Structure 1
Amino acid sequence: MNESKMNRGLKNRHLQLISLGGVIGSGYFLGTGYVLEKAGPAAILAYLLGGIIVLCVMLCLAELAVEKPVSGSFVTYAREHISPTWACGVGWAYWTTWVAYVPSEMIAAGIIMNNFIPEVSQLWWAVFFGLLVTILNLFHVDKFGESEFWLSLIKIVALAAFSIVAGLICLGLIGDQGYIGTKVLLGSGGFAPNGYWSIVLTMVIILVNFQGTEIIGLAAGECEKPEKSIPIAVRNVTWRIIALYIIPISLLISILPWDKAGLDESVFAAAVTQYGLSGFGAFFAFVILTAAISCSNSGLYGAARALHALARMDMAP
């Protein structure tokens, strides 16, 4: 298949939200509990370090994507600038990560829906959402971009709402606990109760949570104006990391003791529920569902583009 057959149907707003779709999956809403459990309030430093790493990678990828906006980006770049062997390894490794990750998101979606409708097993819900994501990816690329735009928007609105509510809880304007300040943040063993080495130990799951940002590069070959859209998208990575990771998690650890965090439920839901906002906690279950679908949607897109690039180079069927 020639590169000219790829349709440049993705608008700038689609590209911005697609890059968010892969980043904020169910792993973010659920996996953050593991990070807090291991690192305590120092988790904020772990996310900050992960964000700096991602930003450096994206600045490099943007330079290449603007210079040569092709679908499959970093697979092609690896072949041209390093070696075909390296490109083959990068492409298949990337494809494998999403092939493993997308079904896990579908299982997460199945577990959530099974809690709402227990009559239907988790397996059938997972199969249903898997088919839904596949169908979305079979549409013309602009329809895919539109679906991902709205799915990602739900997650952004939810995190913004959580940040506002958590901020009001800290100030004592919600609940009867009064002004919290740093009582919760530093109240259970200090800022780094398990030592600063725990920050390094949590980097694996944090960088998994950040996976998906690179889809900006994969989508370069299908953008209407890549020379304008991609630099804007990459520059926005900085404020996205701050707005969607650093601020919500800073507020989260200010209202939820780190030793109460875990993988049993979303720490975001647990945090607001303990202050009497059980309805808001139920809303977050729906948000996690949309996050799982959105992350899978953009992940399948990325896996398909990587495989397409490998096939063009005779490294895949």
Structure 2
Amino acid sequence: MKALFTYDYGKENMDRIRALGYEVMVVGETVIENNPQINQVEVLVCYSPFKRLDVGQMKQLRFIQLSSTGIDQLPDNLDRDVQVANNRGGYSVPMGEWTVMRLLELYKDADYFFTQQKNRKWAINTSIQELAGKRVAFLGTGTVATEGARRLAGFDMTIHGFSLSGAPKDCFERVFPMDAAEDLIGGYDAVVIALPHTEKTHHLVSEKFLGRMKDQAVLINVSRGKVLDERALLLHAPRFKGIALDVFEEEPLKKDSPLWEVPNLLISPHNSWVSQRRNSRRFELIYSNLQRLKEGRPLQNLIDVERGY
């Protein structure tokens, strides 16, 4: 069985894949293009080569293993018979930690102290707040939200979630249906967006939604930029205690974006997923799924392309 990787996981790991019985090719996403050899592969392990690679020409393709959690990059002409798996859970631990970090930075006014240190100025800040007693709502109760909620449990916060079904979930004291979020969101001190981008979640956090959030609330987005209406955010940002965005509607964020000028906004370049263990976690999922494919066993993290997750 022929497998095409767009990232080299090192000789030792690639030899493990070959030992499963795969004929392995490695071609980087910046140089990849269709040719007779590539068009014969049955397995594609990648992030987003689809601007250069036409999967419509790959008639033998059976399975795509994505290295990302999101699937926005999948092409429209993908054959419905091709199975697709994502890296759900692979980045959730560092993203959960990132959520805690941003909450602490915003409530403890970390930027103030960084600025004071840079200016060699000694001045106590009496406006910082505790996380204890705060109410936080996660939009989404998947692995990213769950790891964030798990880590916030030690801060004596009230932790609620909103999901499509509203079904109970570990690490959340209560879970409500997403349809109720707009009506209930005003009762929370902090809101964390942890949703995939789909047709239904596009601009879910709208001007109306933001308008119903309480004054001096904190807003964090670690999932997908298009879930949040950035133009509406610019209107409501002055009411909030702080905002932390790791994802944006258009990436990279343009230098002339007005978001750079929002004083209470922390910007990071889609970095929350990074940790020293990212490649090892990612490869172990890849290895497991390619082993399962060879053995005819059910694959992990299969997604429904039409639903978007």
TM-score, normalised to structure 1, is 0.26
Specify which structure has the bigger relative contact order, considering alpha-carbon pairs within 8 angstroms and separated by 6 or more residues: 1
Higher strand share: 2
TM-score, normalised to structure 2, is 0.26
Higher helix share: 1
